[in-house]
Every structure is written in C-alpha cells, then in structure tokens.
Amino acid sequence: MPELPEVETVRRGLEPAMTGHVITQADVNREGLRWPFPPDMAARLTGARVLGLRRRSKYILADLDRGETLLIHLGMSGRMLVSGLQIGHFHHDHPAPEKHDHVVLTMETGARITFNDARRFGAMDLMPAGDNHPLLAALGPEPLGNMFDADYLAARLKGRNTPVKSALLDQRIVSGLGNIYVCEALFRTRIDPRRLAGSLTAAEVAHLVPVIRTVLEEAITAGGSSLRDYRQVGGELGYFQHSFRVYGREGLPCPECGANIRRIAQSGRSTFFCPSCQSA
C-alpha cells in the first residue's frame, strides 16, 4: 500500500500528536506483525518521550528519549490513526476499537495512536537511537534528496537486464517508490516499462529523475493515494488517486492519446501503461 507519499503524509499527521509528548500507555495486542515485536516493547515505550518523527524510505522513525528509536513500516494495509486530539474547544472522542487494531499508544495529552493492519505485513521494532537497523542498511537514496540525480541513477541502471519498471521498484536503487508511482513516472516520461533498465539513454534517465520527484511531491500534496486500506491519520482519504493517468486504468483511454491503457505483469506485479505513448 503505502509508498513514500502515503508514509510521509502519515508522518506529518502524527507529528502534532506525538512530537514532544510522552507515551503514557502502550497496548500491544499480539506478539508481532510481519516479525515478532522486540522484547518488552510495551514497557520500553511506556514513559518514553517522542523527540521527533522522521521518515526514511517507507519507514517512520520515532526518536525517543532513553536512547531508542521506534521503527514503523505500514506494509500493504497498515494504518496509523490519531484520535482524541484536542483542537481548540473541540474534543474528538476515541472511536470504538476495530478488528486488527494491533498496537495502541496513549499519549499524556489523551491523544491515542492506533496501528491497524489487516494483512499484518507491517512491522514495528525498537533500535538504538539513529538509523542503524538491518532493514535500513541496504536502502538506496531518497528520491527527493540530493543524492538522487541523473548521474547516480544512470550508474545504477547501467548493465541491468531487468525491466526498468522492476529496477525502479528495487529499494536498493532508489527507496520509497512503489507500484503506483513507478507506473505514473514511466508514463509521464513516455518510457516503455518493458525496456531493460540498462537500455535507457542518458537523456531518458535525466528526464526520469525530476519527473519522479514531481509525481511524489504532487502525491504528498494530495495526502497520498487511497485505493482500499490507506487513510490519513484522521481517517481521511488521500486524493491523488484521482490524478492517476495509468495506474488502475486498464481499458480506459490514455489521457494523452486515447489509446487503451494496458495492464501486464512484471515480476509478479501489475504494470499499467499506454502501449502507444510508451512504445519501445
């Protein structure tokens, strides 16, 4: 589910509820999600103050006092919902617990952060303060950061015999893109997703970099894309899905040329593209 724009939207939404505040209660309702939770997770969270929230790729990192950082991944269906935030005179009540509410953090303010994840592909772990976690070790650069530029991407795609679609999904090359935004970026650059990564010209790679940035920034501005599970922290839908040009639009007309959008499978994932605009 959540790709970089969705995770960044969640991070921003958690900020007012968490940053600077103490976690007064941690309710952990199962042993783990994709992996077991770390030992004594509830006790290690209880009483900790959240110093700040960062995002690395599709991970949210909550820096705690006491020298630990909480790592969160939403997997495919994970949601973080905030309730009970006091806004002016309006008090938002806590909703009834729902199926798949796995971890609930209660803050000193009375706000509550609920991690809900139907498919349980998400993850939570605690690590020593910083970025030193095995899941972060091999990640490529942030697509919105300075390290990600045409020279870098060209070097990483060079010699690769996998389709460019699959290469851009590889988090070791660039971290944070997922199926939606790769399809959308390739459409906007008119690059055929079936092309081998190593076959792209320097000009095509140079075009791809700023287009990837633009797509991600537009999606963040829209609060992400809501297809089924994803919600912003207040339960609101994102609305970038209304701006999809090819993703999920099989059989519909291409917004550029009117040809029918096609869906194919690449590395076991659906790829949507315009067979006319994006022809090798």
Binding site for DNA (CB under 7 A): 1-3, 6, 34, 57-58, 73, 75-77, 99-100, 118-121, 135, 138, 159-163, 166-167, 169, 171, 178-180, 197, 224-230, 238, 263, 267-270
**128 catalytic residue (yes or no):** no
Cβ closest to DNA, residue 121 vs residue 152: 121
Provide, rounded to whole angstroms, the least separation between the CB of residue 276 and DNA.
Answer: 21
**12 catalytic residue (yes or no):** no
**3 catalytic residue (yes or no):** yes
Give the integer Cα–Cα distance in Å for 27 and 146.
39
Provide, rounded to whole angstroms, the least separation between the CB of residue 110 and DNA.
Answer: 28
Q: Which of 142, 218, 269, 275 is catalytic?
A: 269
Look at the alpha carbons of 102, 123, 31, 108 in this order and tell me if their dihedral is positive or negative: negative
Q: Which of 55, 58, 112, 245 is catalytic?
A: 58
**158 catalytic residue (yes or no):** no
Measuring CA to CA, how many Å separate 164 from each of 132, 137, 144, 186, 204?
A: 30, 23, 19, 9, 11
Give the integer Cα–Cα distance in Å for 155 and 14.
36
Give the integer Cα–Cα distance in Å for 174 and 177.
7
Cβ closest to DNA, residue 24 vs residue 171: 171
Provide, rounded to whole angstroms, the least separation between the CB of residue 268 and DNA.
Answer: 4
List of residues 6+ apart from 93 with CB closer than 8 A = 83, 84
Q: Catalytic residue positions?
A: 2-3, 58, 269
